[in-house]
Structure 1
Amino acid sequence: MNKPDPALRASRLKLLLIMLVFAAPMVAAGVLTVIGWQPNGKANGLPIEPQRNFASEQLQVTMANGQPWAWRADEPQLTLVALAGPDCAAQCLDVLTKMAAARITLNQNAPRLRLLYVGKPPADAASNGMSSYWQLGQDSKDQLAPFRPSTPDSVAALLVESDGTALSLYPAGFDPTGLRKDLQKVIR
């Protein structure tokens, strides 16, 4: 009876250990999935549940030039929709400015985010350059009413995927810094 060569046994053991190193994460992921554990993302926005697709719902926002807003973007672009509460004034305008600044912080990825303001613009919107950053539209059928804040001088925001699917809601009083962080995670 021949004894296996010790070098051959060592190389087989090394091969088995290498296979184990690569298989262990897959086995661990399978076990975690079976027991129902899911990682928690630390997004600042609230998920839209049930999920809605504004394009398939034919939710119509009419732009200042009379054209309808295209929820399905020609290229991969998300849309950040700002919905102001009644009497949008100084605080509302401050949040809108911070939202526009969040787009600027995306640097070369900034064109991948469209800014859409839906509703009556603030009184001094023309003088403060709001139209330089935001595309202004109206929701004549008030289909976005469930997302619009009722608090005066406040803003809520919706993040919408390029196919028209609403991803996240940022209710009135949200932290614009948290929104910026979410945008930097999503838009790369």
Structure 2
Amino acid sequence: MTDSHAHPSRPGRGRTKLVLIMLVFLAPIVAAGLLTLSDWQPEGKGNGRPIVPQRSMADVRIDVDGRPWAWRDSEPRLTLVALPGPGCAARCVATLGLMRNARIVLNRNADRLRLLYLGEPPRDAAGVMDDYARGDDTTGAFASFRAAEPDSVAAVLVESNGTALAWYPAGFDPNGLRKDLQKVIR
């Protein structure tokens, strides 16, 4: 009579299992290292256009109410910079309102986003403009991002350390901006 439990397992079988388990855990690390060395970057599904190369706005002086705008605030807060085209009117004001609403939708995190409007404030937009700080880009640092079409607005999202992250050109989808803000601000 033979007992199936009486036969010892083959020598080295435990080591093979151990090596396979180690490979399961090492494979993602090796793959990440290879991707990093090849400078591969994942393609995000953000709605804004990434600013490449990234630019630091930390030294850009924007005066708001006679004082320089603090890109690096006392708390980590992002800044959404609104850049109107010539003659900001009804369509531009509507987009500014949707940008403001995107901030409101952040609920308890709404304070982590500041709204900054660079340019001459539009007429008939008092309710919308109440949530925006108003400044002037006298250095022209945001000129390449500014909307060129009349009655339109573009936007730049600036990180709390002063790095410009994403650009939303004139005609951007405000719902896409809202989704991006909800991903970035948690």
Instruction: Name 1:98's counterpart in structure 2.
Output: 98
- The structure 2 residue matched to 1:175, chosen from 173, 176, 183, is 173
Instruction: Name 1:61's counterpart in structure 2.
Output: 62
CA distance in 1, matches of 2:36, 2:57: 32
CA distance in 1, matches of 2:103, 2:174: 11
Instruction: Name 2:80's counterpart in structure 1.
Output: 80
Aligned positions of 1:111-122 closer than 5 A:
111-122=111-122
CA distance in 2, matches of 1:153, 1:34: 45
Ranges in structure 1 where 5+ consecutive residues have no aligned partner: none
Counterpart secondary structure, 2:30: helix
Percent identity of equivalent pairs: 61
* 1:39 corresponds to 2:42: yes
Q: CA RMSD in A?
A: 2.2
Instruction: Name 2:3's counterpart in structure 1.
Output: none
Instruction: Name 2:4's counterpart in structure 1.
Output: none
TM-score of the aligned structures, taking structure 2 as reference length? 0.86
CA distance in 2, matches of 1:139, 1:31: 42
- The count of residues paired between Structure 1 and Structure 2 equals 180
Q: Which has the higher strand share?
A: 2
How big is each residue's C-alpha offset from its partner over 1:71-119, in whole Å with a ceiling of 9 and x where there is no partner?
1111110100001011111100111111111111212211111111111
CA distance in 1, matches of 2:68, 2:61: 6
- Structure with higher Rg: it is 2
CA distance in 2, matches of 1:34, 1:168: 25
- Distance apart, 1:165 and its partner CA: 1.2
Residues 141 and 28 of structure 1: CA distance in aligned 2, closer, same or farther (over 3 Å): closer
- The structure 1 residue matched to 2:55, chosen from 52, 56, 66, is 52
- Distance apart, 1:163 and its partner CA: 1.4
Residues 32 and 146 of structure 1: CA distance in aligned 2, closer, same or farther (over 3 Å): closer
CA distance in 2, matches of 1:148, 1:182: 20
Counterpart secondary structure, 2:81: strand
CA distance in 2, matches of 1:26, 1:68: 45
Counterpart secondary structure, 2:54: coil
Counterpart secondary structure, 1:51: strand
Task: Supply the AA of the counterpart residue of 1:61.
Answer: I
